[in-house]
């Protein structure tokens, strides 16, 4: 198949967003109540200061190397590529990080920042529990008090991660308001923050929230893309032809995409969760099927009803089950630099089994969405072309969900 089949994406030069108030075009920004403004200004200043501080950056680098285990390797999934037919599929192995996902790249950075700011208490929201575990982990290591907010529904669905967080010394608070899932956990964490702003640092787990979170979380996650550039050059002698990553809030995706935005030859694909199918309305795909609005501190594509009330989302993967998306993805969509596509529950599940079977790698259900799309895309490309997929997390946490779906009792 000729490469000309691929839809041409927009060429971007001198990309330097967000602006100083956190805007990516009309998206992003700072939409919070007055009570939080001072804390956010304080965070903004601290973040700007420490990202220029050689000592802070050296400590972060050392932690990423010695504690997280970076750089994570890139692996050529030769058997998967052969079975698929078409482009060569490479995997960026974020699943091999300490705690099993990319989430720790961010929590380690923000926790170091919290410590520099003199905060003694860390709070976070979590959906699947991966960000909660990554937060509880760094809090344990730095000796900080840690409270994790988690929807009561999710606590039921993800009990192994709840136990992990407790082992790590975190207090896990069940959120029973609203739909009792990730968005409600975020609401509750914001309520805690506004009540305890003097000693508390809020580690948001994705590239959403008020400015500076979308930019800050991205900057901590771009280690994924920066390593990938060098590793792909070393391995294949050139940049990949396409990047593929799953998008819930979109932190692993932006971490991979951002260092490639100005590379015209690299196509970018973000994969949303189509759940039971976009046409059913039971999905988590705001970029594919939502419209812009304001939630959790920023303007972005959202899933809401005609009155602007946020609606419940569905995905087989708890980590993608969120009605919003990072504002930078909204901008990359609008300007045509990235394509946002979707993969449904069944396709993700099939990809989960395929990767496990042919490569001996059990992927997280979130990452399985990216694998599924990569195999679709590969079929439209030549054998000598390459696709780099962010394998954002490992699937150990999902085996109970999958066993249950398949009627197997563990």
**Residue placing its CB nearer to other proteins in the complex, 187 or 356:** 187
For residue 403, what are the CA distances in angstroms to 255, 286, 407, 408, 409?
Answer: 31, 29, 6, 5, 7
Q: Least Å distance between CB 157 and other proteins?
A: 21
d(CA 106, CA 58): 15
By the 8 A CB rule, do 338 and 29 touch? Answer: no
Q: Least Å distance between CB 32 and other proteins?
A: 6
Q: Least Å distance between CB 163 and other proteins?
A: 27
Is 392 noted as a catalytic residue in this protein? yes
By the 8 A CB rule, do 359 and 387 touch? Answer: no
From the list 363, 113, 72, the residue with the least C-alpha distance to 246 is 363
**Residue placing its CB nearer to other proteins in the complex, 311 or 405:** 311
By the 8 A CB rule, do 391 and 94 touch? Answer: yes
Q: What H or E segment, with its residue span, contains residue 219?
A: helix 213-221
d(CA 266, CA 256): 12
Q: What character string, x for contact with other proteins (CB under 8 A) and - otherwise, covers 294-323?
A: xxxx-x--x-x-xxxxxx------------
Is 125 noted as a catalytic residue in this protein? yes
Which residue in the set 31, 67, 75, 400 belongs to the binding site for other proteins (CB under 8 A)? 31
Q: Least Å distance between CB 197 and other proteins?
A: 6
Candidates 103, 183, 333, 397; catalytic one? 103
- Told to check if 25 binds other proteins by CB under 8 A, we report no
Q: What character string, x for contact with other proteins (CB under 8 A) and - otherwise, covers 195-234?
A: xxx-------------------------------------
Output DSSP code: residue 8.
P
d(CA 406, CA 353): 12
Q: What character string, x for contact with other proteins (CB under 8 A) and - otherwise, covers 156-185?
A: ---------------------xx----xx-
Which residue in the set 38, 53, 264, 346 belongs to the binding site for other proteins (CB under 8 A)? 38
**Distant-in-sequence, close-in-space partners of 396: CB < 8 Å, separation ≥ 6:** 100, 362
**Residue placing its CB nearer to other proteins in the complex, 38 or 53:** 38
Q: How many CB atoms neighbour CB 113 within 10 A? A: 22
For residue 164, what are the CA distances in angstroms to 96, 129, 135, 158, 170?
Answer: 18, 9, 11, 10, 9
Is 83 noted as a catalytic residue in this protein? no
Candidates 81, 92, 119, 125; catalytic one? 125
Q: Least Å distance between CB 44 and other proteins?
A: 12
| Catalytic (active-site) positions | 103, 125, 392
Q: Interface with other proteins by CB under 8 A: which residues? A: 21, 29-35, 37-39, 177-178, 183-184, 187, 190-191, 194-197, 291-297, 299, 302, 304, 306-311
């Amino acid at each position: 198949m000729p490469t000309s089949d691929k839809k041409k994406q927009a060429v971007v030069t001198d990309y330097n967003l967000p602006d100083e108030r956190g805007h990516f075009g009309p998206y992003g920004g700072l939409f919070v109540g007055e009570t939080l403004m001072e804390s956010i200004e304080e965070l903004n200043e601290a973040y700007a200061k420490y990202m220029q501080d050689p000592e802070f950056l050296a400590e972060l680098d050392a932690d990423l190397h010695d504690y997280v285990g970076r750089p994570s390797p890139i692996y050529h999934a030769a058997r998967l590529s052969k079975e698929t037919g078409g482009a060569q599929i490479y995997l960026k192995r974020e699943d091999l990080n300490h705690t099993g996902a990319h989430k720790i790249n961010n929590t380690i950075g923000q926790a170091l920042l919290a410590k520099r700011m003199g905060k003694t208490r860390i709070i976070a929201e979590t959906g699947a529990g991966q960000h909660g575990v990554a937060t509880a982990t760094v809090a344990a290591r730095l000796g900080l008090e840690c409270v994790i907010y988690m929807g009561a529904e999710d606590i039921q669905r993800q009990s192994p991660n709840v136990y992990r967080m407790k082992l790590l010394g975190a207090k896990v608070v069940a959120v029973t308001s609203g739909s009792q899932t990730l968005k409600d956990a975020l609401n509750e964490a914001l309520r805690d923050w506004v009540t305890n702003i003097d000693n508390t640092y809020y580690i948001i787990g994705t590239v959403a929230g008020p400015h500076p979170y979308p930019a800050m979380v991205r900057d901590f996650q771009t280690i994924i893309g920066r390593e990938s550039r060098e590793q792909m050059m070393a391995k294949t002698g050139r940049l990949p032809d396409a990047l593929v990553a799953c998008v819930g809030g979109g932190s692993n995706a932006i971490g991979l995409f951002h260092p490639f935005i100005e590379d015209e030859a690299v196509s970018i694909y973000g994969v949303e969760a189509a759940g039971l199918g976009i046409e059913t309305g039971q999905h988590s795909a705001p970029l594919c099927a939502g419209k812009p609005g304001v939630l959790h501190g920023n303007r972005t594509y959202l899933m809401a009803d005609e009155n602007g009330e946020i609606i419940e989302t569905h995905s087989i993967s708890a980590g993608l089950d969120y009605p919003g998306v990072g504002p930078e993805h909204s901008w990359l969509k609008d300007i045509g630099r990235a394509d946002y596509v979707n993969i449904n529950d069944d396709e993700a599940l099939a990809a989960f089994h395929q990767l496990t079977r042919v490569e001996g790698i059990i992927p997280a259900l979130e990452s399985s969405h990216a694998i599924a799309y990569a195999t679709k895309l590969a079929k439209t490309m030549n054998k000598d072309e390459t696709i780099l997929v962010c394998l954002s997390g490992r699937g150990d946490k999902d085996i109970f969900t999958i066993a249950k779906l398949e009627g197997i009792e563990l």
